Amino acid sequence: MIMTFAITALLIVPAAILILVGDQVDPLSEAKRISRKTARASDDRTQLRIRLEELGKASDKDYEEFRIRQYGYCAGAAAITLAFLLALSGLFILAVIGSATASATIYLLIDRQLTQDVKKRRELIEAEFPAVVEMLTLAIAAGETPMSAMLRIANSADGAISREFQIVVAGVRSGAPLHESLDAMGRRVKSVMIRRFVDALVTATLRGAPLVEVLSRHAVEARGNQRNRVMGAAGKAEISMMIPVVFLILPISILFALWPSLANLNLFAS
């Protein structure tokens, strides 16, 4: 008899837990959410959603608008190329090949332009980072909390990092913890410098470490990285300036130096 009651209890308890959980989570909606997430992951083989999210366009509407614009330009280029080649040569196969080539070229150019926009935004964020970190350090050293300091920078500054701080502040106001909003910012901005700053800030916030020392160290490191980046850009500019000197100015100078001797030799030979 006791064994029967034990077996019945073992069967009833899991069933009751499943019923309680089922009242809170709808299996159908959960299955739909998982299928939508899986479909998005399989559809994002080119990491388009990740790049759009880094540009601040994380909604499905932004993704659909970009795809519509991309496919629309490809279709327009294909139609124009097809009509032009048909009118010019009259060969249908040549027109189809040319239209397909034009459509693929437009597709790749738009995708490359999106990548360039992401790269420029990342470089802009890294260029703004030292000044923003110094502002954040001064605000926290003056007695403000990290949340109020970020809110002050988001309202007073104008740039990519200030917009990221606005997203962080909005996430905290909606109920998310500060460290989760900062971690989302670090994952959204694909920059090693920002990732290290966010990790240090989250660690200091959770462990109660002094934020001023952490931010001061990151400000010095950010200034050093900015100086190295400027020196690297100057080195690349110096190399690019050598191209016209070597291939244009130097041959002309040698020609002017040798022209009188060549003219005299031709005169002597004649």
Q: What is the DSSP string of 85-104?
A: HHHHT--HHHHHHHHHHHHH
Cα separation, 22 vs 57, whole angstroms: 34
Tell me, yes or no, whether 189 and 129 share the same domain. Answer: yes
pLDDT by residue (tens digit) across 20-45? 434 343 444 444 444 444 445 445 56
Separation between Cα atoms, residue 62 and residue 57, nearest integer Å: 6
Whole-number pLDDT of residue 44: 59
Q: What is the DSSP letter of 227?
A: H
Q: What share of the chain is helix, strand, coil (3-state, %, to 5)?
A: 90, 0, 10
Does 162 share its domain with 196? yes
Radius of gyration of the chain (CA): 31
| 153 and 110 fall within a common domain | no
Q: Is 1 among the domain residues?
A: no
In a domain, 170, yes or no: yes
pLDDT of residue 139: 86
97 and 176 together in one domain: no
Helix (H, G, I), strand (E, B) or coil at 255: helix
Domain final position from 105, 120, 135: 120
Same domain, 141 and 101: no
Quick one: 144 and 164 in the same domain? yes
Q: 171 in a domain, yes or no? A: yes
Q: How far apart are CA 182 and CA 178, in angstroms?
A: 6
Whether 51 contacts 118, CB under 8 Å: yes
Domain shared by 154 and 114, yes or no: no
Does 41 map to a domain? no
Residue 269 located in a structural domain: no
Asked if 93 and 157 touch (Cβ cutoff 8 Å), the reply is: no
10-residue stretch averages of pLDDT, the chain, 270 residues long: 40 42 41 45 66 78 87 90 86 87 91 88 83 86 85 83 86 87 84 84 81 82 81 78 81 83 76
Packing angle between helix 192-207 and helix 178-188, nearest 10 degrees?
170
pLDDT at 247: 81
Q: How far apart are CA 148 and CA 153, in angstroms?
A: 9
Residues spanned by the domain of 130: 123-228
Burial of 176 (0-12, 13-18, 19+ CB in 10 A): middle
Q: Are residues 148 and 112 in the same domain?
A: no
Q: What CATH number did the domain enclosing 208 receive?
A: 1.20.81.30
Quick one: angle between helices 160-173 and 146-156, nearest 10? 130
Amino acid at 133: V
pLDDT of residue 182: 87
Length of the chain: 270
207 shares its domain with 219: yes
pLDDT of residue 109: 92
Whole-angstrom distance, CA of residue 227 vs CA of residue 230: 5
Evaluate whether residue 35 is within a structural domain.
no
Shared-domain flag, residues 86 and 134: no
Kindly state whether residue 48 falls inside one of the protein's structural domains.
no
Note whether 219 and 130 are within 8 A (CB). yes
Contacts of 37 (CB under 8 A, 6+ apart): none
Q: Is 231 exposed, middle or buried (0-12, 13-18, 19+ CB in 10 A)?
A: exposed
- Residue that finishes a domain, picked among 102, 120, 138: 120
Examine the domain organization and report whether 182 and 208 are in the same domain. Answer: yes
Q: What's the domain count of the chain?
A: 2
d(CA 168, CA 182) in angstroms, rounded, equals: 6
Domain end marker among 120, 138, 155:
120
Spatial contact of 168 and 151, defined as CB atoms under 8 Å apart: no
Q: Give domain status of residue 18, yes or no.
A: no
| Separation between Cα atoms, residue 151 and residue 1, nearest integer Å | 67
64 and 116 share one domain? yes
